[in-house]
Chains A and B, each alone.
Chain A
Amino acid sequence: MADSDTKDAVWIIGAAMTRFGRYPDQDSIDLASTAALDALRDADTTIFDVDVLAAGSLMEASNMLGQRLQKQIGQTGIPVYNVANACATGATAVRAGILAIKAGEADVALAVGVEQMGKMGLLGPAGQARSAPSGFTPSGRYGSVMPVEGILGTQLMPGVFAQAGMEYASRHDGVGFEQFAKVAEKNHAHSALNPLAQYRKAFSLEEVMGADMVAYPNTLLMCCPTGDGSAAVVLCSGAKLKTLDPDVRRRAVKISASVLTSDPFVESDTAQPDVSTLTKRAAAAAYEQAGVAPQDLDLVELHDCFATAELIHYENLQLCEPGGAGDFIDRRAPWRDGDTPVNVSGGLISKGHPIGATGVANLYEVATHLRGEAGDRQIEGAKVGLTHVIGLGSACAVHVLERAAA
């Protein structure tokens, strides 16, 4: 059911993000306040005209993040949804705002995603010593006598996403270390044009492949960094949009599709989470909802937490033919000057990935191109874009955005 009737669509009327990076002197509320106030200003409105707030942060959602933000920027008593959904947190916060508007309970929503990651590494807490002070006692759902990370394979992100990529490689010719590395080469090169990216340095393919290996085939330059940042969007109903200033209406971006999925049962779940089935389903539903085909997309911001992840998502999002992801990157189709620009922002790999912020930052990026305001990295004439995030466990959100009709 295409949501193409202006009356029923939800619109982005304001969007902003902080540059991603390390901000040890700013807490989550500092970062979220900056993004929220910038987005509200961009929408030519204030917190006092917002009807609902959705605030997403993996680490702060259970800590009244939204209410603490209100206490800094405007305690208006509106409903607050604090949202966590792993790396899909930000997009889930946006969905909470969309649903409130679609339910007729709000005309204007503010959705903010933020993360202050501190000194967290890729690995999480260190493992315990193998010798127990007293006797081994089976505990937990697997009756384990010690943490098994590293003993029974790895369930940490770099290795899990490496194994997801290698599983794709096992089924298709022409996919190997070099193809995965080319993804990172592209995203680092793209980031040089993005002033909001955490890192803005290009690397040669040799440098990418020769960097320290983290979990083969993902080298350090093929893994997203940890960092801090925030992004926010202001949403409104079509009916509300009609009442707003002509300049706001001109810059409004239509949300043509908004889909959230979780991972359906697959037999390989006993080994590790499957990140492909839920993505395929979300993308198919989004194309259907928007009445848009993959070939219509002018740009895509997808979830490249690791280079191996981006490559399999080319197929999951139908950007290439089944089995064609290796060929797709080999012929440079997802470069900014290719058929389907992917991650012209630099992606998570180079732009950064403050967890709660990413799902909103993707929307900021695509909306900015659709508004013709992306400066040096602008994809000329962009009319339709797609965003994708996926949080392990799992949650996947896909949005399709379209420029306002001329």
Chain B
Amino acid sequence: MNDTDTQSGGAKQIPVVDYLVLGDQPHLVAQACTKCGALYFDRRNACARCGALEFERKPLSPSGVVRSFSIVHRAAPNVAVPYVSSVVELDGGGFVKANIVDAGADPEKIELGMPVRLVTFACGTDAEGTEAVAFGFTPA
């Protein structure tokens, strides 16, 4: 179950997506096909690799390496630029798209292949004071 009611520093928190698990050790959780092991973050109708219909929750490692990145300078009005978008390959399996945070926006300083670890950050508050929490990666 997601820790939708996790309290941290008094504020109620909710993960921005349901494949992010909050708590003492935030991490991502995937749906793993019970037949072939393919990993997914979305609600599934079937396995796109083998067609099987059963899935189990698989917690993923919070550590990984940067397989790709881009520094985005043009975005919708509510998004601060520049930011660093990245494809991270997680140790033990799984690929995820997220921002690299706390590493600046200089392409010379962001290394393809560098090890990173998952961190969380607040990304909005609703009218009831609940804080939405997102995840990113920072150089390990």
Q: Which residues of A contact B (CB under 8 A)?
A: 122-123, 125-136, 138, 141-146, 148-156, 158-159, 162-164, 166-167, 169-170, 177, 212-218, 265, 267-272
Chain B residues near A154 (CB-CB < 8 A):
70, 72, 75, 85, 97
Cα–Cα, bound, A22→B127 (Å): 44
Chain B residues near A170 (CB-CB < 8 A):
66-68, 112-113
- Whether B70 and A216, one on each chain, are in contact in the complex, defined by CB atoms closer than 8 angstroms, is yes
Q: Which residues of B contact A (CB under 8 A)?
A: 2, 4, 14-19, 30, 38-43, 48-49, 66-79, 82-83, 85-89, 93-99, 107, 112-113, 123-128, 130, 132, 134-136
Cα–Cα, bound, A214→B130 (Å): 34
- Whether A271 and B17, one on each chain, are in contact in the complex, defined by CB atoms closer than 8 angstroms, is no
- A136-B14, A215-B71, A216-B71 are contacts. A268–B38 as well, Cβ < 8 Å? no
- Whether B79 and A127, one on each chain, are in contact in the complex, defined by CB atoms closer than 8 angstroms, is yes
- A144-B16, A265-B49 are contacts. A131–B43 as well, Cβ < 8 Å? no
Chain A residues near B107 (CB-CB < 8 A):
177, 216-217
- Whether A151 and B79, one on each chain, are in contact in the complex, defined by CB atoms closer than 8 angstroms, is yes
Chain B residues near A162 (CB-CB < 8 A):
70
- Whether B97 and A166, one on each chain, are in contact in the complex, defined by CB atoms closer than 8 angstroms, is no
Chain A residues near B88 (CB-CB < 8 A):
271
The one of A127, A136, A169 that contacts B77, using a Cβ cutoff of 8 Å: A127
- Whether B85 and A153, one on each chain, are in contact in the complex, defined by CB atoms closer than 8 angstroms, is yes
Chain B residues near A272 (CB-CB < 8 A):
87, 97
21 pairs, A vs B, C-beta closer than 8 Å? A127-B77, A130-B124, A131-B127, A132-B124, A134-B127, A135-B127, A135-B128, A142-B42, A145-B14, A145-B17, A145-B132, A149-B76, A150-B83, A151-B79, A152-B99, A152-B136, A154-B85, A154-B97, A156-B75, A216-B70, A216-B72
Chain A residues near B73 (CB-CB < 8 A):
212-216
- Whether B72 and A167, one on each chain, are in contact in the complex, defined by CB atoms closer than 8 angstroms, is no
- Whether A159 and B126, one on each chain, are in contact in the complex, defined by CB atoms closer than 8 angstroms, is no
Name the distance in Å between B63's Cβ and chain A's nearest Cβ.
Answer: 16
Chain B residues near A212 (CB-CB < 8 A):
73
- A126-B78, A127-B76, A177-B107 are contacts. A152–B17 as well, Cβ < 8 Å? yes
Chain B residues near A128 (CB-CB < 8 A):
78
Chain B residues near A151 (CB-CB < 8 A):
16, 79, 99, 123, 134
- Whether A268 and B16, one on each chain, are in contact in the complex, defined by CB atoms closer than 8 angstroms, is no
Name the distance in Å between A149's Cβ and chain B's nearest Cβ.
Answer: 7
Nearest CB in chain B to that of A170: its residue: B112
Cα–Cα, bound, A162→B107 (Å): 12
Chain B residues near A156 (CB-CB < 8 A):
75
Chain A residues near B72 (CB-CB < 8 A):
150, 154, 158-159, 214-216
Nearest CB in chain B to that of A161: its residue: B70
- A141-B42, A270-B95 are contacts. A163–B30 as well, Cβ < 8 Å? no
Cα–Cα, bound, A159→B81 (Å): 13
Name the distance in Å between A287's Cβ and chain B's nearest Cβ.
Answer: 27
Cα–Cα, bound, A136→B11 (Å): 14
Cα–Cα, bound, A370→B33 (Å): 50
Chain A residues near B69 (CB-CB < 8 A):
163, 166
Name the distance in Å between B11's Cβ and chain A's nearest Cβ.
Answer: 12
Chain B residues near A271 (CB-CB < 8 A):
67, 87-88, 95-97
Cα–Cα, bound, A129→B95 (Å): 28
The one of B41, B96, B126 that contacts A131, using a Cβ cutoff of 8 Å: B126
The 7 nearest A-B residue pairs measured at CB = A143-B18, A150-B79, A130-B124, A162-B70, A170-B112, A216-B71, A153-B97
Chain A residues near B125 (CB-CB < 8 A):
130-131
